Every structure is written in C-alpha cells, then in structure tokens.
Amino acid sequence: MLATTLRSAPGRASALLVGTAVAAGLCACAPQAPDTGTVDRVLLSPTADPSTVQTVTWRVSGAEESFLEIEPEDGSGQATRLQGRPTGGGEADSTFAATATGLEPDTAYRYRIGEGGEEGGEEDGDGGEDGLSDWYGFTTAAEGNEPFSFLYFGDVQDDIADEAAPVIRAALEAEPGARLALHSGDLVDSAGDDSQWDAWFDAFGPLATGGMNHLAVPGNHDYGSEGLSEHWAPQFPGAGNGPEEPEGLARTVYHTDYQGVRFVALDSNHRDAAPHSADRWLDTQRRWLEQVLADNPHQWTVVTFHHPVFSSNPERDGDTLRRAWLPVLEEYDVDLVLQGHDHSYSRGNLTEHRTRDPDVQTGPVYVVAVTGPKMYEAAEDDWTDHGAEVRVQRTGVQTFQTVSVDHDTMVYRADTAQGESVDSFTIVKEGDGKRVIDGH
C-alpha cells in the first residue's frame, strides 16, 4: 500500500525527485499500514484544458475534510488552497477531488494534500508542516503543439504486483518524461476488490500517479454486478465534457486536448448499459464522437475504449462496436484507436488504406495490447473477414507502448519489459494526407 503520512513533511525534495526517481525505477513509497492522516492514491486526471486546469484526486484515512495546496514550483506565485470535494469512502478512508483553475500553461507546479479545512497545516519548525503530505509535481500542458510523449497500457488486470508491475516500471523508465498515461480498461480483475487497486497504485508508484495525467476508460472487469465500480469515479472522474444522457456516460466518456492531440475516451461496455439499451448507449456516443471529431482544431486524434472493433480472440466478434463506431473513426481519420480486452497484441488497418509500398498505409491504426500476464490465443479472422488486415499480431507478450508526438510526426513503439521490440511505426502528416510507415 502506498502512503504518505501527513506528518512526515519531508519538504520540497519529492517534487524535484519525480523525474529521476521514476527514471531509476524508484518508488518513494515504503509499504506501511494505513493510519489516521495517511494520504495515498494521489492521481492526476485530465480536464478539458490541461494547460490551465488540473484535477487531483486522493484518499485520506480518517479525515472528514482535506484540501489541496498548489503553487508554481519555482516559488514565483502564491500557494492556493482548494477544499477537497468528498467523493466517497467511509470513516476509515475518505476520497476527495479538487480542480485547480487559472494555472499557467507549460509551467511546473508542486502540490500537497492537507488534512482538515483549508486553514490546516502548521509549521513544524523543521522546514515542513504538520498535517501536510509530501510534495508532488507536474507540468501543465503547453498551449501550442509542443513535442511530448505519452504511454498506453492494455489490460493490467491480473497478478498485478508480480507480473504486471515490471512492465509498468519498464514503461516509466523508458519514458520518464511522459506527460500522460492512457489506460484502455480492465485495470484490475475484480472492480470491488480494494487490495487490487492497492496493487495497481503500487505498480505505478505515487510519483507517477501524481506526476502525470491518467486517462482511463473502464473495461468489463471495472464493472461489477451492480454497475461501474464504486472505485471508478473517485479515482477517474473524467473531464466532465461527455454526453449528459443517458445517465452514467458522463462519468466515463470525455475528451482532453494535450499539445496538439485530442484524446477521446469512450465507454464500450454496452452490455452494462442497463437500465438503458445497448443501442442507445452506443448511438449516443457515436453522435457525440462525431461532434467532437468534427470540431477538433488539433492535428492529431487518439481514441481509446476497451472492446476492440476487430477482435483478435478467435472466440470473439467485434461486430456490435464495429457497426456502431468504425464508420466514424474512419470518416474522421482518427490516427490511433487504442483498445484492450483481447489479451494479446495486434495492430492493423482497413485494407482499403494499403498503398503500393507494402510498408506504408494510410487511415486509422487499430491496436490491441495487454500489460498483465493473462493471455488468449490470437487470430486474424475477425479482421480479415471484415475488410481489415493485421500488420503485427502476437500472443504471449506483455507490452507497454510509448508514443512520441513532434509536430507532424508521431512515433509509436510497443516493447516488452525485457527490451524486445514487438511493434513500431511512424505516422507522418503531409498537407491533407498522411502516411503510416511500418518500423521507424
């Protein structure tokens, strides 16, 4: 269990350590028993405009009130305290969220969590303050198309501490400056199992959950028999700009814009749409997606959801989602469609986007990946039977994905924790067109 004891107050060091600690695979998080006044599960959630607005979520044991204190890391501005909005929990653990607004773009901030009302926290004579957590740090998005990188994780889900965590750590070491992590669902296996969420947060470590934005969509395992896990909304509140009807979608469907990329999160769990119909669930998102893509002022578009439109599992068929969403993804030429659920690795495209060069195609790239150790067989039938082709398909490989965006070029890599390159391609935008080039 990751925890920061409010009274430990180590001063400014931890925010400054974010890059190097992650790069070194370190985790400033010695396991300790939860205690009153213990802060953990600190996480950044993307907002509609992460250049000036940032949401932070966290948990405090035994606290009815808690606040966020945030200030520019270079000390150039005043600290702001925001009262945390209670988002759940009981007497033992309470979860909170706060959204800082009016931030400066492309600026390093540090923040910490306090127990009690906004007036809490007192100098302890040691350079720290009683009642306040360690410092965390992040940098707001730049306003323009500045280069940046993000990570993409398929299902983490199973045996997280022993088998999935090494892949996550390898990703953080490979791309210590990543600004965003994208999670395509099934983050845990049993959505209501608190210990699995402990393992998930442990796998990333507090400097990574609290140091970059986490854009997550739920998978079927993040839904339980009574609907979306009660852990979901407090931890992944979304950007609040999704469809308002039917009720429920606003929690899991949203978009965020980061330095020239529009990221769109969809909820593919139409089997969990009750009391709404699956058709309404999918149609609402299709219409909303069309609007979000039609109004997109950015050069790049990345869409993520859990269930693939082309299934790689020989016993599955992506027909329902394919009919609902594929035409829109194609019409607006979404660059990356990042999915999960099939527990293998596949990357492909519609055959109509082939070019005369066998290593070059156009159009959207569809990917399925898996982070954790659970594996299924992989087959091409659902792709090839429906107008698509597989460029890379593997089973038995746990991968992490790094994506670097630099103006008109996007470089994608899928690697194992052992250093094997499983897939790579480069997308180059040229005028109104683009080329997707295998390898890099």
Size of residue set near Fe ion by CB under 5 A:
6
CB-nearer residue toward Fe ion: 239 or 370: 370
In 3D, which of 92, 102, 113 has the Cα closest to residue 44?
A: 113
**CA distance linking residue 124 with residue 129, whole number of Å:** 5
DSSP of 173-200: HH-TT--EEEE-S--SSSTT-HHHHHHH
CB 213 within 8 A of CB 181: yes
CB-nearer residue toward Fe ion: 137 or 340: 340
Window contacting Fe ion (CB under 5 A); options: 111-119, 215-223, 250-258, 308-316: 215-223
Amino acid letter, 241: N
Tell me the closest approach of the beta carbon of residue 140 to Fe ion, in angstroms.
Answer: 33
The bridge status of strand 409-415 relative to strand 400-406 is antiparallel
Amino acid letter, 293: L
Burial class (CB in 10 A: 0-12, 13-18, 19+), 34: middle
Tell me the closest approach of the beta carbon of residue 124 to Fe ion, in angstroms.
Answer: 46
In 3D, which of 301, 398, 290, 278 has the Cα closest to residue 340?
A: 398
φ, ψ dihedrals at 426, nearest 5°:
-125, 135
CB-nearer residue toward Fe ion: 129 or 186: 186
CB 337 within 8 A of CB 328: no
CB 348 within 8 A of CB 324: no
Tell me the closest approach of the beta carbon of residue 196 to Fe ion, in angstroms.
Answer: 13
Tell me the closest approach of the beta carbon of residue 374 to Fe ion, in angstroms.
Answer: 7
Of 226-265, binders to Fe ion (CB under 5 A) are none
Element (H or E) spanning 416, and its range? Answer: none
Window contacting Fe ion (CB under 5 A); options: 11-19, 118-126, 214-222, 380-388: 214-222
Tell me the closest approach of the beta carbon of residue 225 to Fe ion, in angstroms.
Answer: 16
Window contacting Fe ion (CB under 5 A); options: 89-97, 145-153, 239-247, 337-345: 337-345
Window contacting Fe ion (CB under 5 A); options: 40-48, 335-343, 378-386, 421-429: 335-343
- Token code pair at residue 320: 């329902």
Tell me the closest approach of the beta carbon of residue 343 to Fe ion, in angstroms.
Answer: 6
CB-nearer residue toward Fe ion: 155 or 415: 155
Among 52, 145, 220, 241, binds Fe ion (CB under 5 A): 220
Among 219, 243, 260, 318, binds Fe ion (CB under 5 A): 219
CB neighbourhood size of 320 (10 A): 16
CB-nearer residue toward Fe ion: 113 or 168: 168
**CA distance linking residue 117 with residue 82, whole number of Å:** 9
SS3 438: strand
- Token code pair at residue 129: 């303050």
CB-nearer residue toward Fe ion: 59 or 231: 231
CB-nearer residue toward Fe ion: 40 or 186: 186
Window contacting Fe ion (CB under 5 A); options: 12-20, 112-120, 312-320, 338-346: 338-346
Of 132-191, binders to Fe ion (CB under 5 A) are 155, 157, 186
Tell me the closest approach of the beta carbon of residue 357 to Fe ion, in angstroms.
Answer: 35
Tell me the closest approach of the beta carbon of residue 304 to Fe ion, in angstroms.
Answer: 13
CB-nearer residue toward Fe ion: 130 or 222: 222
CB-nearer residue toward Fe ion: 157 or 404: 157
**Cα-based angle 174, 175, 178 (whole degrees, multiple of 5):** 160
Q: How far is CA 8 from CA 124, 130, 134, 144, 433, in A?
A: 10, 8, 7, 39, 55
Q: Which residue is nearest to Fe ion (CB)?
A: 186
CB-nearer residue toward Fe ion: 188 or 405: 188
- Token code pair at residue 101: 């607004």
Tell me the closest approach of the beta carbon of residue 268 to Fe ion, in angstroms.
Answer: 9
CB 29 within 8 A of CB 205: yes
Tell me the closest approach of the beta carbon of residue 253 to Fe ion, in angstroms.
Answer: 17
Tell me the closest approach of the beta carbon of residue 418 to Fe ion, in angstroms.
Answer: 22
Amino acid letter, 175: E
Among 214, 262, 341, 394, binds Fe ion (CB under 5 A): 341
**CA distance linking residue 87 with residue 66, whole number of Å:** 11
CB-nearer residue toward Fe ion: 219 or 238: 219
Q: Which residues form the interface with Fe ion (CB under 5 A)? A: 155, 157, 186, 219-220, 341
